[in-house]
Amino acid sequence: MTKVSFRIFILLFTHSLYTFCQTNSYAEKPKLLIAIVVDQMRYDYIPRFFNKYKDRGFKRLLDKGFEFRNHHFNYIPTYTGPGHASIFTGSTPQYHGIIANNWYDKFEKKSVYCVSDSLVNPIGTVSEQEKRSPRRLLTTTFADSNRIDTQFKGKTIGISIKDRGAILPAGHSANRAYWFRGKDEGQWVSSDYYGSSFPKWVTNYNKTQPANTYLKTWNTLLPINTYSESGPDNNNYEKGFSQKALPTFPYNLKKLKEFNGNYDILKQSPFGNSLVTDFAIKAIKEENLGKDIYTDILTISYSSTDYIGHNFGVNSKEIEDTYLRLDLEIEKLLNVLDKEVGENEYTLFLTADHGAVHVPQFLKDHKIPGHYFNYKVFIEKINTYLHTTFNTNNLIINSSNNQLFLNYNKLEKLNLPCSVVTNKLQEFISKQPYIQHVFTRSQLIQKSFNNKIGPLVQNGFHQRLSGDIAYVLTPATITYTNKGSTHGSPQVYDTHVPLLFFGKGIAVGKSYTETSVVDIAPTICALLAIAQPNASSGIVLSEALKK
């Protein structure tokens, strides 16, 4: 071999080796990461309905993936906005700043919404209500990390019925986030934060008026007499739909539409989940997700489960039917992923943003403790106490999310130290019925707690944004109507949710080790070999990853 030939050989060999190493490095990563959040999914919905699930939905994730059976949220309030933000940032409201769905902004002196943004314009609608973006999220998500790692070649798309369920998971640098506008429109919408116009495929999809397909009769998937895992269909714990005398099957959605928010009625039916699945599948195909060497991320949030839970309660036939139908949606999505991306080329995780409480009236009727908290009377008592104690009014400027915000301007004029007022309030509130804990701002900033609840309140307390007093109600005590379920507490029924990993790079098995919501993002980042979000505080769940 001549010297020239040898040099050419070495050059070609080196180039081939470099190409192999680069390709091999990417080959270890999934082509597509699918993140599924089921809104208001209690952990026990998996074992409770297990025998009725089919083999290719939830059971496939369980049989071929890794399940964490003792997975919890480590902060309050357990709401949708903070839940989605925490899952994808690997941090808690203490850092990412989404302290509720809505909260009082003491600097703007008004209530704000977690994804509201007056600086953007809606796309796909003219409604000012759709001026939305992730700007109130103070930290990055793992989707942002992936965008940076791939030099913005890996795509990120977020999809949900709810705007906050689409926007917060997708992060700041997402290519797109889409959410559903019901009312009299029934369209997928977005904002110009993500671009000045829709891709052509979304415009064409909306022109087909896909929401009309789902305006049909909602009856049980299986014979209703087989739904032994839930209570009677006709009971006193459900709200139901307007202009329908009883909250019982069947529900003619097309007929009930005009009395229940027009297309918004789909949100309170399992067909809202179908709407999301079908749009997600369309996005996978049209955006060519998982088709190159750069990992793409698709976030899907199923919100109808939350609307149905609030309406009918966690022990309802409607909830059981919704989860049996969601099982079929998961199967449908997995089948498309197998075909479009490749059975061993994608990774998926499924979890929830919070759980829910049994209807307290249902608990009371069965001699189990459950209570309703009269918030209006509670605030009136506080104002009367403050007037009597300090001989003045309007010391509380806002009360929301189980927090009280003091009127700093009034305190300054009266030369009244904030600590004096908060200490007095703590003592007074702790004596009120159905109060479990009361914390002052100074305690949450400076103190360590030995009890279970204190750290959860602390992790949800943002030093700049949160209030001056935080209180926690006793278990199964809610501020809500006496029909339907809600959430938001640090109690186990709100914090315990499923966590399933499935697909490329995922081991098969299960664990009973207690894990936390902040562990999901670091685990995904370890799988993708990318940097963790900038405020991530969790650990890598190495049990779930193939060695």
Has residue 23 got a pLDDT over 50? no
Question: To which residue do tokens 């600086």 refer?
Answer: 119
Q: Under a CB-based contact definition with an 8 Å cutoff, are residues 57 and 331 in contact?
A: yes
Give the residue among 500, 467, 395, 480 at the shortest CA–CA distance from 434.
480
Domains of the chain: 27-67+80-124+140-360+489-503 (3.40.720.10), 371-474 (3.30.1360.150)
Contact 263, 182 (CB under 8 A): yes
Identify whether the C-beta of residue 353 lies closer than 8 Å to the C-beta of residue 40.
Answer: yes
Strand ordering across the sheet containing 66-68: 122-123, 187-191, 176-181, 156-160, 296-302, 32-38, 346-352, 499-503, 66-68, 509-511
Residues in Cβ contact with 247 at an 8 Å cutoff, skipping those fewer than 6 apart: 234, 235, 238, 239, 240, 241, 312, 318
pLDDT at 18: 40
pLDDT at 7: 54
Residue 159 bridge partners (DSSP): 178, 300
- Check pLDDT > 50 for residue 12: no
pLDDT of 73 strictly over 50: yes
Residue 355 has pLDDT above 80, yes or no: yes
Alpha carbons 198 and 204: distance in angstroms, whole number: 10
CA distances from 441 to 35, 48, 68, 458 (A): 35, 40, 34, 10
Q: With the C-alpha atoms ordered 148, 149, 155, 160, is the resulting torsion angle positive or negative?
A: negative
C-alpha to C-alpha distance for 490 and 191, rounded to whole angstroms: 34
Q: How confident is the model at residue 2 (pLDDT cuts 50, 70, 90)?
A: low
- Predicted pLDDT at 22: 42
Looking at residue 27, its pLDDT comes to: 58
> Which segments of 6-76 are extended strands (E)?
32-38, 66-68, 71-72
Name every residue whose Cβ is closer than 8 Å to that of residue 240 and which is 6 or more positions away in sequence.
246, 247, 248, 311, 312
6 pLDDT more than 60: no
The answer, yes or no, to whether residue 24 has pLDDT greater than 60, is no
Distance between CA atoms of residues 136 and 114, nearest Å: 6
Q: Which residue has the tokens 């003619």?
A: 252
pLDDT band at 50 (very low <50, low <70, confident <90, very high): very high
Shortest CA distance to 361 belongs to which of 494, 480, 234, 489?
480
Task: Convert the pLDDT of each residue in 93-113 to its tens digit.
Answer: 999 999 999 999 999 999 999
Q: pLDDT digit string (tens) for 177-216?
A: 999 999 999 999 999 999 999 999 999 999 999 999 999 9
Question: How far apart (Å, rounded) are the C-alpha atoms in residues 100 and 79?
Answer: 6
CA-CA distance, 396 to 542, in Å (whole number)?
Answer: 47
Q: What is the DSSP letter of 344?
A: T
Average pLDDT, the chain: 95
Instruction: Please return the burial class of 515, using the count of CB atoms within 10 Å of its CB with bins 0-12, 13-18 and 19+.
Output: buried
What is the Cβ-side half-sphere exposure of residue 102, based on CA atoms within 13 angstroms? 6
> pLDDT (tens digit, 9 = 90+) per residue, 288-331?
999 999 999 999 999 999 999 999 999 999 999 999 999 999 99
Pairing outcome for strands 71-72 and 371-372? unpaired
Residue pLDDT, tens place only, 366-423: 999 999 999 999 999 999 999 999 999 999 999 999 999 999 999 999 999 999 999 9
Q: Is the CB of residue 354 less than 8 Å from the CB of residue 80?
A: yes
3-state secondary structure of 241: coil
How many other CB atoms are found less than 10 A from the CB of residue 424? Answer: 14
pLDDT of residue 451: 87
With cut-offs at 50, 70 and 90, classify the pLDDT of residue 26: low
The residues annotated with a catalytic role in the active site are 80
Question: How would residue 5 be classed by pLDDT, with cut points 50, 70 and 90?
Answer: low
Query: Does residue 16 register a pLDDT over 50?
Result: no
For residues 313 and 486, what is the distance between their CA atoms, to the nearest angstrom? 8
- pLDDT of 432-475, one tens digit each? 999 999 999 999 999 899 889 999 999 999 999 999 999 999 99
